[in-house]
Amino acid sequence: MSTVNRKQAFTFLKKAIENFNFAQKSENCQNEAQTKKFLIDPFFSLLNYAHDQLIPEYEADFGDRVSNKVDYAIQLTKKDLIIIECKKLASKLTDKEAGQLSGYFQHAKNSRIAILTNGREYRFYSDVALPNTMDSKPFFVFDIENYTDRDVEELLDFDARLIKVQEIISKAQELVFIDNFEHTFFKEMTNPSKEFLKLIHKNMSFKTKYNEEAMKALMNSSLFKSLTDKIILHEIKSNSKSAGIITTDEEIQAYHTIRTLLIQNKKIPNERIGYRDQKGTFNILIDDNQRKIICQLKFTDNSKKIIFDNGDFPLDHLDDLLKFKNQLIEKTLGLLE
């Protein structure tokens, strides 16, 4: 078991990334070899991999295609391998490059994690949907020029001293499930199937003659917003006491103030803004996604403060939230991109 203090490791990693000096290093990256030397190798050094742990030109079991070698591999244990496909900095990471990595992944024994990178963006893949077949979408993306504290926290899972492959795979499975669930549910809500409509009608307490078109007409954003509000209230009532979480009127008032400030910008859809109350903090986020936190509120009997990636700021009154309008909008637009 690792004796590394995760909180200290996070602080160190965040500071190291801030001091990475990407702009200066990138000036020397005209080709793939230079990108590896000046950007990719140092990046994995930040994650505490020794130089000899990055095995170059790793030869997976390609059969007759032995000339096709993956750029790097990290042999964590006899059973756990990470393969890494590198591109030059100027390259855009597309499905074509991911397809090439997928071919390597399929033939690399003991690999459950694959990374595609151009030195700036690191895309992490697994085989959650189908064993031994790399997923079409990454379960985590880290951009060394555009990241949040939560991204650094996720990246820390890949620190050589802390990495636990099975735990990473479990997280990836959860993310893939949620992504697929959201996609499927969205399709069902925007274009409901006959089976879904019949199921709803069957369970309605107020029985009317089944009318498919009338039910479809009722299914709109206003209805879904009303349902979402009811679900939030239900979760608060059913979970707050058992979880030791109490959502206060003051927190709800602050949420509505911030939400009002945000939707004044026409680029911010009001239905995508929500909140999640947790022990210690009240999070305001996009799409109920913990990776897309706009800000956090921490209210106690003695103090109130709003927390952003760049620090926390005291609030004497809730009206003080108005001072952070520009910062809130800028952060939200960044998360919506």
pLDDT tens by residue, 267-285: 998 888 998 888 778 999 9
Residue 220 binned pLDDT confidence (cut-offs 50, 70, 90): confident
Asked if residues 331 and 293 have their Cβ atoms less than 8 Å apart, the reply is no
Residues 258 and 112 in one domain: no
- SS3 percent helix, strand, coil of the chain, rounded to 5, is 50, 20, 35
In this prediction, residue 133 has a pLDDT band, given cuts at 50, 70 and 90, of confident
CA dist 274 and 24 (Å) reads: 39
- Is the domain of 152 the same as that of 243? no
Q: Quick one: pLDDT band at residue 210, thresholds 50, 70, 90?
A: confident
> Which pairs from 68-74 meet CB under 8 Å and 24+ separation?
68/103, 68/104, 70/101, 70/104, 70/108, 71/36, 72/40, 73/108, 73/111, 74/44, 74/49
* 138-175 confidence digits (pLDDT tens): 999 999 998 888 889 899 999 999 999 999 998 888 88
Neighbours of 151 (CB within 10 A): 19
Retrieve residue 15's tokens. 């500071």
Last residue of a domain, one of 163, 182, 216: 163
Among residues 99, 66, 67, the alpha carbon closest in space to that of 85 is found at 99
Exposure string of 55-77, with b = 16+ CB inside 10 Å and e = fewer, is beebebebeeeeeeebbbbbebe
- 279 belongs to a structural domain: yes
User: What's the domain count of the chain?
Assistant: 2
Residue at 197 is within a domain: no
Q: Where do we find the tokens 């679900």? A: 231
Supply the pLDDT for residue 78.
77
From CA 141, how far away is CA 121, in angstroms rounded? 7
For residues 57 and 104, is the Cβ–Cβ distance under 8 A? no
Q: How confident is the model at residue 126 (pLDDT cuts 50, 70, 90)?
A: very high
Which pLDDT does position 109 carry in this prediction?
A: 73
- Tell me whether residue 199 is in a domain: no
Query: Could you tell me the pLDDT band of residue 257, with boundaries at 50, 70 and 90?
Result: very high
Residues 155 and 253 in one domain: no
- Considering the domain architecture, whether residues 113 and 245 belong to the same structural domain is answered as no
Write down the pLDDT at residue 331: 93
User: Cα–Cα–Cα angle for 114, 119, 122, nearest 5°?
Assistant: 35
| pLDDT computed for residue 16 by the predictor | 95
Q: Give the pair of three-digit tokens for residue 110.
A: 């003991």
The domain of 59 spans: 6-163
Q: Are residues 159 and 261 in the same domain?
A: no
Look at residue 70 and tell me if it is in a domain. Answer: yes
Provide the pLDDT for residue 243.
56
| CA angle (304, 240, 320) in 5-degree steps | 20
Is residue 320 classed as helix, strand or coil in its secondary structure? helix
Residue 202 covered by a domain: no
Contacts within 8 Å (CB) and 24+ apart, 103-106: 103/68, 104/60, 104/68, 104/70, 105/132, 105/133, 105/134, 106/132, 106/133, 106/134
Q: Is residue 76 part of a domain?
A: yes
Q: Is residue 179 part of a domain?
A: no
Residues 141 and 249 placed together within one structural domain of the fold: no
Same domain (yes/no): 22, 127: yes
Taking a C-beta distance cutoff of 8 angstroms, is the pair 36, 29 a contact? no
Tell me: do 32 and 141 sit in the same domain.
yes
Are residues 38 and 148 both part of a single domain? Answer: yes
* Tokens coding 237: 């009532």
Domain endpoint, select from 163, 197, 221: 163
CATH number at residue 92: 3.90.1570.30
Cβ neighbours of residue 13 under 8 Å, at least 6 residues apart?
46, 47, 152, 155, 156, 159
User: Does residue 112 register a pLDDT over 80?
Assistant: yes
Residues 246 and 144 in one domain: no
Same domain, residue pair 144 and 251 = no
Model pLDDT for residues 45-104, shown as the tens digit of each residue: 999 998 888 899 887 655 554 456 889 999 888 778 899 999 999 999 988 888 888 888
Residue 309 in domain: yes
Give the pLDDT band (50/70/90) at residue 1: very low
* Mean pLDDT of the residues in the chain: 86
| 251 and 106 share one domain | no
Would you give the end-to-end CA distance of the chain in angstroms? 39
- Over 70: is that where the pLDDT of 44 sits? yes
The better pLDDT of the pair 334, 104 is held by: 334
Tens digits of residue pLDDT in 285-327: 998 888 899 999 999 888 899 999 888 899 988 989 999 999 9
State which of 112, 145, 163 marks the end of a domain.
163
Q: Which of 33, 54, 27 is nearest to 43 (CA)?
A: 54
Range scoring the smallest mean pLDDT among 102-116, 126-140, 240-254, 269-283? 240-254
pTM here is 0.63
Is pLDDT of 228 > 90? no
